[in-house]
Homo-oligomer: A and B are copies of this chain.
Amino acid sequence: MTNYKLTIQYDGGRYKGWQRLGNGENTIQGKLEQVLSELEGEKVEIIGSSRTDAGVHALAQIANVKLNKNITESKISNYLNRYLPQDISVIEVIEVPDRFHARYHAKDKTYRYKIWNKVYPHPFMRKYSMHIETKLDVDKMIKAGQYFIGEHDFTAYSNAKSKKKTKVRSIHSMEIEENEGFIQIRVKGNGFLYNMVRKMVGTLIEVGLGHIDPDHIPDIIESKERNQTGRLADACGLYLEKIDV
């Protein structure tokens, strides 16, 4: 068997997220496994680095798949791009050592969030950004963002149903910048809980709107209370940007 690492880009808009659910559910993993199984001639399983939520996009999801068939990297990639839906692209396929496991070997992850901050909607980015009509105070958001950096117990930013043993995660960086009407938030960390990025962005939006004081962020984190974080930012503004493996 040969192990292949795949780099995948997708518009998550019409999918129920990465993870395969029951039969017939529309998921990224499901679509990839369907096409790869046709190529292989038998059922195969693909392992993703990150389980993106319903509606969340990926610029570079990393996955691995083991195939019996002796076939070149470019043939796999061409086959996938020919038979996958147009909103899922395979941008790279490379042979990797047998021990490579996309989830276990994922170290740091970078997510990007796009806010369109003008009074009028953006006709081309309406499905690829969150629209906030009220002018946000970006300086305050930048100040607030810095409090997330470091190792914290992110219980306040987790989902009530989460079964993760520990909710301690390290945020390495949080970059916030404004450019031509867009506010982009880029956050890098060693892992993120379910909905954690969208909840952090939700808090930052409340800060930008003047509803939460930037200096209040440490209290919110320390409170470990999920009702302190403000809104959950829309899925359509979130992109899995990079996985360090």
Please report A residues at the B interface, Cβ cutoff 8 Å: 9-11, 57, 77-78, 81, 86-91, 118-124, 126, 128
Contacts and interface: CB of A to CB of B under 8 A. Distances in A.
11 contacts: A10-B123, A57-B124, A77-B119, A78-B119, A81-B119, A86-B123, A88-B123, A89-B120, A89-B121, A91-B120, A124-B128
Contacts of A128: 124
Main secondary structure of the interface of A (DSSP, over half): loop
Nearest to A90: B120
Given A10-B123, A77-B120, A124-B128, 6 more contacts: A9-B120, A9-B124, A11-B123, A11-B124, A78-B119, A87-B126
Q: How many copies does the complex hold?
A: 2
Contacts of A9: 120, 122-124
B122 A89 contact: yes
A11 B124 CA distance: 6
A121 B128 CA distance: 17
Nearest to A11: B123
A123 to B, nearest CB: 4
A210 B126 CA distance: 38
Taking each of A81, A121, A126, A128, which has the highest tally of chain B beta carbons within 10 Å of its own beta carbon? A121
Contacts of A78: 119
A78 B87 CA distance: 33
A89 B57 contact: no
Nearest to A89: B120
A4 B114 CA distance: 32
Contacts of A10: 123
Contacts of A89: 120-123
Contacts of A81: 119-121
Nearest to A92: B120
A123 B123 CA distance: 17
